[in-house]
Every structure is written in structure tokens, then in C-alpha cells.
Chains A and B, each alone.
Chain A
Amino acid sequence: MTGIFVDQGAVDALGSDDREPSSGGPWRLFVRNRAAVFGLFLLIGILVMTFIVPIWYVKDPGDLVARPHLRPGAEGAPLLGTDNLGRDILAIIVYGGRTTLRVAAGAAVLIVFVGVTIGSLAGYYGGRVDAALMRFTEFFQVLPGLLFAIVVVALFEPSFWVITFAIGTIAWPGIARLTRAEFLRLKNLEFVKAARAIGATDFRIITRVILPNAMPTLIVSTTLIMGSAILFEAGLAFLGLADVNSASWGLAIGRGREFFTINWWAVTFPGLAIFFTVLGLSLVGDGLQDALNPRLRGR
């Protein structure tokens, strides 16, 4: 679903962004983009909330701290109220972020590793290798993503590794196709020929010569993929496919939905946490896109 925003990078012109973004240029372009800076602040806010706030907001999100269904601002209620059992919703949001972000980060690592490996091999070697790898990719592309993840997690167990693996398995084809396109674009350029002429091995050409030049596009796409991964994790948790012993945003919404008519805050605030995280990632991704591939601005 993120593919449509980034595939254009593959057909981008060759000149300006062939080098690593080491000059001050991309960063200046990025900070001049107000939306992207806003997104960056959102992300920093989420990270602070998840990793710094717990240092002084020491709670167990599973504890029953007050009466159930206390609205935010009610007497004796925590800042964001309590859920149907009397758990502190702020604590659930603060500590639940870890679960979600860990899964998203883990899945992103897996997605990038598998996607880049398959995409670069297919793009670099072409021919039969390409055909075989692309058939394989196509197979994973037709699998209905969320449904496949649901089946895997339901068949095994809703642990961190299974959930991360399930999300990683379904989301890599986009990165693979993108990497392949970048490799097809770059592999016949002068500097690659030069590297081959001085006797560099295929492995070296792939990892040291071509890949760094494909990085701008891949970084943008990875940012957006993390947003999708968070939505996948939240969806699974909403359906109850999460580790029930650790708090999670999606799980909180799933648990609160039954009582939504009398307790809107137990559903609304965790949802806002998901929303702002994914929004932040999208804005930063778009900002990076504009900064690293300036020719596509405004598209």
C-alpha cells in the first residue's frame, strides 16, 4: 500500500542523487518542509513517551489503580481515565508503545533484509535468477497480508517472534521490487562498470557499489513500511492476537470496544497513539522523499 508513493523513486533521473546524501543539501530541504518537521516532532514525542516517560511514570499497566470507567479528569482518576477493569489508560499507552514499536522495528529489519537480498540478487543477475525470484515474490504479493498474518499467529502463538515473523513475511515484496528496480537502473552505469573492470567481486559490487546508491529510495520506503507494520500489529492485537501479558495499543482498543458506548476514552486515546505514530512516520517518509529525490516534490 505504500508502494504507490515510492515506486516513482525507481524511475527518477540519474544525476543529482547518485551520491550518498552527505552534503548539507537533503537535511536543509528536509527542515524547510514544515510537514516533515512536524512528523519528526511527533516521532520524537512518541519515542520520549515510550522510552523516557516510564523512568518517572513507574507503573504496571496491568495494575488496577482505581474504579473502572473513570473519565479523564474525574476525581481520583489518572490523567487519561481508567478502562473497564480500572487500569490506568495512560500507563497502557506509555508501556504499550514498547510492544508496538518493538514489533514494528523487528518486522522492518526482517522486511528490509529479505526484500533487499531478493531484490538485489534479482536485479543484479537478471535472467533466470530474476525470473525465479520474481515468481517467488509474486506469490507473497498475492497472499492477503493481514489474513495470512492472522492465520500464522492463530496457528502458532501470539508471541513477539511469531508476530514479527508474520508481519515480516507479508510485507517484503514491495521492498524487493523497489530494490530490483534500483539495481536495474544502476547496474549498467559507468561507476559499476569501472568497479567490475578493476576486478571487484559480485558481492562487493552489490553491497558496496550499487546498494549505497539505492539507499535514498530504500530509506524512504522503509519509513513508510514501518507505518504499515504498526498498523498490522495493531490490527492483530485488536483481534486479540497479541501477547495478553504485555500492554499494547491495539489490544487496548480491542478490549475497550465492548464498553465503547459508556467509555470512549479507553478506545480513543490508544487509537490516537497509533494514529500519531503512523502519521509521524508517513510525514517523515514524505519529507525524506522530497529531500532525497527533489525532482518529485509535490507529487
Chain B
Amino acid sequence: MKAIAARIAQSLGLILAVIVLNFFLIQIAPGDAATAIAGDQSASDPEVIEQIREQYGLDRPLLVQLGIYIGNVARGDLGESIWFNEPVTSLLAERIGPTLLLSAAALGFAVVVGVAIGTAAARKPESLLSHAVTVLALIGFAMPAFWTGLLLLILIGVRFDFFPVSGIHDVDFEGNWIESWLDIGQHLILPALTLGIIYLAQYSRLSRASMLEVLESDYVRTARAKGLSERSVVFKHGLRNGVIPVVTILGLQFGAVLSGAILVESVFAWPGLGRLAFEAVTRRDTPVLLGVLLLVSVSVIVANLLTDILYRVIDPRIRVSGGDS
């Protein structure tokens, strides 16, 4: 319990550090901070600038400003978007759902298929499949996600018209919630596949390596010697331990997945945080951009924390020793 409390405190510290970083990014960006917050559109209006200056306390000492900024963030006030004329917080709330859906679908696909392929490959290390896993992992890593997305889009989406290629719903969509989810599911396939391929490559390679090791271990030999069926040996004894490295990486990679989603969302016009960040870049909407950075960073920290706690629950060794660090 003490270890978990320490981890939570550490995570809160990290979140604070991210907020401070955000604050200093506004400070050191070229140009006046008030202009940056106001954005290009209203920057020419001295009245708006003056108002912002007062609102954010920009005429006060830096540390006071930092205090005000942290206070604002804590209350959920991340400023106003220039382009959408809406509070940044409500924009983020609107967009986080689709991004989480996309990331979860991509990771789910990558983990399930990757572990399955990796396990099959590890059982026959010299087979064609086993070598193919190594090659595919390299290819999957080397393909830029946005390029893969475009290729899938043109090949599967446009040439053969299998799946919708843009957005989360058909433009003229009408129907009840079941039809609605089916429609979303159809739109989800190509983006999730694109984002998932990168991780599929990594997880199949990783689980192949870890299963190779596990299947050579003494307790697997014991299980075989006891006369257990091959299926029981591989899935009950082997896989439970072989999958641990994948779970570890999964937690650590959450941030990378959300980052990758930016590129994929921009290819498929998926209305998530990544698309929002892309729109913010093209429209120089600084408050929105920083808002996305803050939200994604905090999500990563929370995801890491949850993985860590989950770990302690699952793995008795860590629980008994009260944590390693």
C-alpha cells in the first residue's frame, strides 16, 4: 500500500511537471505570450490583448503567473480556442472518446493477433512463419504510419470500396444506437488497422522471443513430463509467463500509440485528439495544441500508474517485496 501511495505521489509530481513545462513553452515561444494565447486572429486587437494580460496576470512576476496558470489548469480552464471560439476543455472532452476508441481497437488487434502469431512462431523456431515474423516486424517498424494509411486507403478503401475511408460516421447517417455503432465500427477498421500494424509487428516479435525462452524453461519441461497435453503446456503454462513482456511494453507504449494516432487520424479524418492537434497546427491555435499535449501527457502518466498498480496485483513477487524501487 505504501508503495502504491508513493507511486501516486510520484505521478502527481509528474503531472505538475508537465503543467510547468506547458507554461514555459508558452513563455519561451517567440512573440508575446498574450498574443500567443490570443492567436493570430485577435492579436491585432489591443483591447483583447489587454484583457488577456489581465486575465492571465501577464503583468505579474513569472512565479505568480505560474501559480495562476496552475490554478487555472486545476479548475479545468485551459483557455479559449481561437479557431473554434470554444473553451479548450470542452473541445478536448469532445475529441478524447474517438481517440481512445481508435487506440484501444488498434492495441487490441495488435496484442491478440501479435501474441497469437508470436506463440505459433515460437513453437516452431525454424519454420517459415517464425522467420516471417522477424521480417514482418522489421517491415512494420520501417513503414511510416501515415504512408501505410494512405496505401491502405487507396487500395482497400478507394479501389475496392470495402470500407469507408474518412470520418467516424457516414455523412447522411441516420439510425438507432446499434446501427450507429455498426457504422462507427466500419469506419474504425482502416484507421485501427493502420495504427495496429506498427504494434502488431513489435508484439509478434516480442512474444516470439519471450515464448522461445519460456518454452525452454524447466517448468515447461516438467509440465510436458507430467504428460499434459500440448495445448495445456503452451497456453496454460507457457503463455501466462510469455505474455508478461507484452503487457509491460503495452503500458509504456501508450504515449507512443496516442502520438501515432495523430498521424493516422489526420489521414482518415478521424475526429479525435490527433485530428484536433493537426487542425490546431494548421490554424496556429496554440491553446488547443498545448491543451492536447497536456491531456495526452496526463493520460500517459495515468496509464503508467494503472499498469504499475495492476502489476502489483497480478504479480505476487512485486506485492510481497513491496515494490522494487
| A residues apposed to B, CB below 8 Å | 1, 4-5, 35, 138-139, 141-148, 150-152, 154-157, 227, 231, 234-235, 238-241, 250, 253, 257, 260-261, 264, 267-268, 271, 274-276, 278-279, 282-283, 286, 298-299
Contacts and interface: CB of A to CB of B under 8 A. Distances in A.
A35 B135 CA distance: 9
Contacts of B158: 261
Interface string B201-225: 0100110010010000000000000
A274 B141 CA distance: 11
Interface string B6-44: 000000001001100100010001100000100000000
Nearest to A5: B205
Contacts of A151: 25, 289-290, 293
A126 B150 CA distance: 48
A143 B258 CA distance: 11
B122 to A, nearest CB: 11
Contacts of B206: 4
Contacts of B259: 144-147
B138 A1 contact: no
Given A142-B304, A144-B256, A260-B153, A154 B18 contact: no
A156 B139 contact: no
Interface stretch (B171-179, B260-268, B311-319): B260-268
B125 A298 contact: yes
Interface in B145-192: 145-147, 150-151, 153-154, 158
Per DSSP, chain B at the interface is helix
A122 B125 CA distance: 39
B166 to A, nearest CB: 12
A156 B144 contact: no
Contacts of A260: 150, 153-154
Contacts of B150: 253, 257, 260, 267, 271
B29 A155 contact: yes
Interface residues of B, number: 58
A147 B289 CA distance: 9
Q: Which of B17, B138, B147 has the most CB of A within 10 A?
A: B147
A222 B21 CA distance: 27
B297 interface: yes
B135 to A, nearest CB: 8
Contact of A156 (B30, B141, B262, B284): B30
Contacts of B111: none
A151 B21 CA distance: 12
A154 B288 CA distance: 12
A150 B138 contact: no
Contacts of B290: 151
A261 B154 contact: yes
Contacts of A250: 144
Enumerate the 7 nearest inter-chain pairs by beta-carbon distance, A residue then B residue, closest first: A146-B259, A271-B147, A278-B142, A279-B142, A155-B29, A144-B255, A144-B259
A283 B138 contact: yes
Contacts of B252: 141
